Structure 1
Amino acid sequence: MKVLAAMSGGVDSAVAAARAAEAGHEVVGVHMALSKDRSQTRVGSRGCCTVEDASDARVAAERIGIPYYVWDLSDDFHDLVVEDFLSEYAAGRTPNPCVRCNERIKFASLLERAKALGFDAVCTGHYASIRAEGPGGAPSLHRSRNSAKDQSYVLAVMGPEAIGSSLFPLGDMADKQAVREEARSRRLGVSTKPDSYDICFIADGDTRGFLERSLGEAPGEIVDADGAVLGTHRGTHGYTIGQRKGLGLHQPAADGRPRYVLDVRPESRQVVVGAAELLSTSRLLARDLVVFEPLSAGRRVTAQIRAHGEAIPGRIEQLPAGEELLEVSLEQSVRGVAPGQTLVLYDGDRVLAAATLERRA
């Protein structure tokens, strides 16, 4: 099989490419240059797809013995990931840019180019497994053996068609240390390289600063659940539901308990705050459903709303029809459900569906 290996410059993608080549596939490595700033460099272990990463990926490809190219996808990344991130925050939502990058860049833009060039599949270093357990033996997406690094949550929005054209060679790896040891034994040059984290296009980790620089200031009020004004803010885009720190309130609550962001209302420039218990819900409403296998109302599932959050048992109450949303009830309440987050439904370790949270019921 002719395979295009996405090589980020990290240890995971290098080992994945090596495993694909060792399995007998005809592998070509490609590094996706995602930054429009050609002078961008790695800050500590933050960020990815930098100049240093492209060099590290090249060295790994040479050690594996496969061709290597750099593709400039910076325009796609800016338009489909960065601009989406900004517009979602401006609308009072809380997006996950890693989900969008996997969906729109690593498994849309990249796969489209790969297919046009005659490749059969794309290979990445994601921690997830693909098995032939879908309807009629179709490929299905499962959690990784390494539960601490599992990335099935951020991959679920890809849908079954993209999954059928993907390879995840690290799905059976027990832990990250085993991946590093394999990279060391293969002399790939990245075995001790630190993991990237946080949002890759905000290399200094200052999300609020990035949003203020990009969206500007739009002052408004911070109010309680009854509408009483408690303070002011410089822009609703600096807040997300469930946030406790950085509210800028100097007057404590009457009961002395911490306040949390309950709602973000960009249309009225209001941020609503209140007690923690007001954040809890056991009913989720979501849109943009991506289905891996047929679903039915009443089906038991487990639901996950954060990349490394707990999967909570629940039940599908309503499937989308017309203007209706997907509705899922949970056996226990969750806190901090924010519009824009990704909801993934599982049956055991198998992904059933993904959707975008609209609101809590």
Structure 2
Amino acid sequence: MIAVAMSGGVDSSTAAVLLKEREEQIMGLSMQLWRNNGRCCSLDDLWDARRVVTQLGIPYYVLNLEKDFENTVVAPFVQTYLRGETPSPCILCNNYVKFHHLVEKAAGIGADRVATGHYARVKYDEALGRWLLLRGKDRNKDQSYFLFGLTQGQLSKTLFPLGEMTKPEVREIARRYGLATSEKAESQEICFVEGRSYADFVEEYAGTETRLPGPIVAESGEVVGTHAG
């Protein structure tokens, strides 16, 4: 049995279709991560995922990981931003929330492997005696960087059905199957801050002012303007 991580988007939906085409036994798993503003596994996304699994006729489960997501991803994001450093929330989420719980919970309900809609590839190298994480065929959509922290144990249980495909090919398959998510737009922002600036989100979450105005000084020492912080 394969548990497919269903985000409610076209990629994970198509990954499920491809596995279904291979006559694999599959189930859908969605993760409820964040209920505040933003689209991170929103109720609309869960509804879209449910529509797809209903269409495919497969079992479906939702995991509530809100507390773990906030402690492991959101809070460190804010703390890193306040230190003036660059946060990497997607890497934290994949390494310590999504794949950790996906593999663990899937095993608990009878699935020995998991699959996601990431554009990446995984294969076992006999000479090295280890699993390798490889870039996806679609270099414009490649997501292997965000998965670099996956363990050997996680990689050994993970399938990436879209690894050898391009985004246009994925869209075409979704359209051919009439999936509810076939034309759904994809987000380019960090999911839990979508629609706002990072600074706005951090100020709201931390309850502190992050943007302190100051002078813009040229190398000569002349003050040439003021920045907003």
Q: TM-score, normalised by structure 1?
A: 0.58
Q: Is the 8 A contact 2:203 2:209 kept in 1?
A: no
> Partner residue of 2:30?
31
Q: Distance in 1 between matches of 2:126 and 2:134?
A: 11
**Offset of 1:150 from its aligned partner?**
0.4
Query: Map of 1:274-313 to 2, 5 A cutoff?
Result: none
- Greater percentage in strand: 1
Q: Distance in 2 between matches of 1:83 and 1:49?
A: 18
Aligned with 1:24: secondary structure? coil
Q: Is the 8 A contact 1:36 1:75 kept in 2?
A: no
Instruction: Note the alpha carbon deviations across 1:168-202, whole angstroms, 9 max, x for none.
Output: 000000x2111111001111111111001211111
> Partner residue of 2:54?
62
Query: Map of 1:1-361 to 2, 5 A cutoff?
Result: 2-37=1-36, 47-133=39-125, 135-173=127-165, 175-217=166-208, 234=212, 248-254=214-220
Q: Is the 8 A contact 1:199 1:205 kept in 2?
A: no
**Offset of 1:122 from its aligned partner?**
1.2
Instruction: Note the alpha carbon deviations across 1:68-115, whole angstroms, 9 max, x for none.
Output: 222211111111111121222234432211111111121112222112
Q: Is the 8 A contact 2:3 2:114 kept in 1?
A: yes
> Partner residue of 1:356?
none
> Partner residue of 1:223?
none
Q: Distance in 2 between matches of 1:99 and 1:169?
A: 20
Relative to 1, partners in 2 of residues 1:252 and 1:176: Cα closer, same or farther, differing over 3 Å? same
The runs of 4+ residues in structure 1 deviating greater than 4 Å are: 134-137
Q: Is the 8 A contact 2:121 2:163 kept in 1?
A: yes
**Offset of 1:134 from its aligned partner?**
5.6
Relative to 1, partners in 2 of residues 1:103 and 1:135: Cα closer, same or farther, differing over 3 Å? farther
Aligned with 1:249: secondary structure? strand
- Greater percentage in helix: 2
Aligned with 1:158: secondary structure? coil
Given residue 106 of structure 1, which amino acid in structure 2 is its aligned partner?
A: K
Instruction: Note the alpha carbon deviations across 1:256-287, whole angstroms, 9 max, x for none.
Output: 9x9xxxxxxxxxxxx9xxxxxxxxxxxxxxxx
Q: Percent of aligned pairs with the same residue?
A: 38
Aligned with 2:71: secondary structure? helix
**Offset of 1:250 from its aligned partner?**
4.1
Relative to 1, partners in 2 of residues 1:206 and 1:102: Cα closer, same or farther, differing over 3 Å? same
- Please tell me whether Structure 1 or Structure 2 has the larger radius of gyration of its CA atoms: 1
Structure 2 runs not aligned, ≥5 long: none
**Offset of 1:137 from its aligned partner?**
4.6
Given residue 121 of structure 1, which amino acid in structure 2 is its aligned partner?
A: R
Q: Distance in 1 between matches of 2:55 and 2:108?
A: 27
Q: Distance in 1 between matches of 2:129 and 2:122?
A: 12
Q: TM-score, normalised by structure 2?
A: 0.88
User: How many residue pairs align between the two structures?
Assistant: 224
Instruction: Note the alpha carbon deviations across 1:47-66, whole angstroms, 9 max, x for none.
Output: 33111111111111122221
- Where relative contact order (Cα < 8 A, 6+ residues apart) is larger, the structure is 2
